[in-house]
Amino acid sequence: MMLSSRRLGRLSLASLAVLAACSTPPPPPPTPPPPVVPTIRPMPPANAVEGMSIPTQGADGKYLTANRGVTSNTALWHLRMGLNVAALNCDKYGPTARNQYNQLLAVHKAALNGANAAVDRNYSVAYGSSGMASRERLNTVVYNFFALPPVIKSFCPVAVTVGAKMIAMPSDQLLEAAPALLAELEKPFQEFYAAYADYLRRLAEWQSRFGATVTVVVSPTPLPPPPIPPGEAPPKGWTPSYKSALEATPPPPSDGGVAPAVAPAASVSGPPAATRTLPDNSQPKLIVQPLPTTSE
């Protein structure tokens, strides 16, 4: 059966309309939202606790510890205490620190006894009858300082290095080298305090940007500066063996003549060797304060 030309025209127009509809591209998908950037809250260094108090900084930028401003004898004694802590707390990294400490006590027994006697004398002169109690209080501060749990991991290898230097050194050089060695032994703690101060700074910045609904203590109260050990006191009964500048200078002649020649003053000599007046305590029994253990 033949279709009329009018009907064929209608079919052609409908086909064109269908084809046109099929060729129209679909609308573009909606623009995705920007990716969510996680805001990671800063964490304390070395697995330290949050809100930990650290010492304040001195004018030289160093954090104030019980090792500041000490005499050579006190520095040597603080070294001995620091290495004692290493001997007790560094076994997980091997027996070297403990073995070194025992060797140190044997090799430098006389020098350590002399430093201990000098520190005893310093406290007795400075504080009288309460001198030994003051010394024991500071000893506790020093022991706890060197046993700070977050620093043990970085402290132990430094203690081994310092211990090796001391064992290899002649005893008569220990006092001169003690202040520099003490600063070396303390370096991991100074670095930890600096890292913790930086953590507090980053935590405060994070809090201001992302933590409006979270309460965070970002400025713990700094630790009070520990007392400075007393200065060096001369041995009991020691007097200078030279004249003062006033005594050594002759008075001017009263008649205007030339002053008589004066014999040269006696050469200056140092104090005699210190003699111990307290009972022997070549291996002082200083109590190490118990501290919580932390996981590495």
pLDDT digits (tens, 9 = 90+) for 194-206: 999 999 999 988 8
Structure tokens at 182: 């003490």
Query: For the segment 64-111, what is each residue's pLDDT rounded down to a tens digit?
Result: 999 999 999 999 999 999 999 999 999 999 999 999 999 999 999 999
Give the pLDDT confidence score for residue 287 in this predicted structure. 43
Name the more confident of 294 and 161.
161
40 or 277, greater pLDDT: 40
Q: What is the pLDDT of residue 152?
A: 97
pLDDT digits (tens, 9 = 90+) for 131-187: 999 999 999 999 999 999 999 999 999 999 999 999 999 999 999 999 999 999 999
Cα–Cα distance measured from residue 176 to residue 208, given in angstroms and rounded to the nearest whole number:
49
Helices of type H across 108-151: 109-127, 131-146
CA–CA separation, 186 vs 52, rounded Å? 19
pLDDT of residue 260: 46
Kindly tell me if the per-residue pLDDT of 211 is higher than 60.
Answer: yes
Please report where in the chains the tokens 């670095």 appear, as a residue.
Answer: 191
* Burial of 18 (C-beta count, 10 Å sphere; 0-12/13-18/19+): exposed
The CA distances from residue 117 to 140, 211, 236, 293, in Å, are 18, 55, 12, 34
Higher pLDDT, 209 or 7: 209
**pLDDT band of 14, cuts 50, 70, 90:** low
User: In this predicted structure, what is the pLDDT of residue 89?
Assistant: 97
Q: Taking all residues of the chain, what is their mean pLDDT, rounded to a whole number? A: 80
Identify which has the larger pLDDT, 220 or 256: 220
Q: Where in the chain are the domains?
A: 69-235
Q: Higher confidence at residue 176 or residue 226?
A: 176
Beta-bridge partners for 171? none
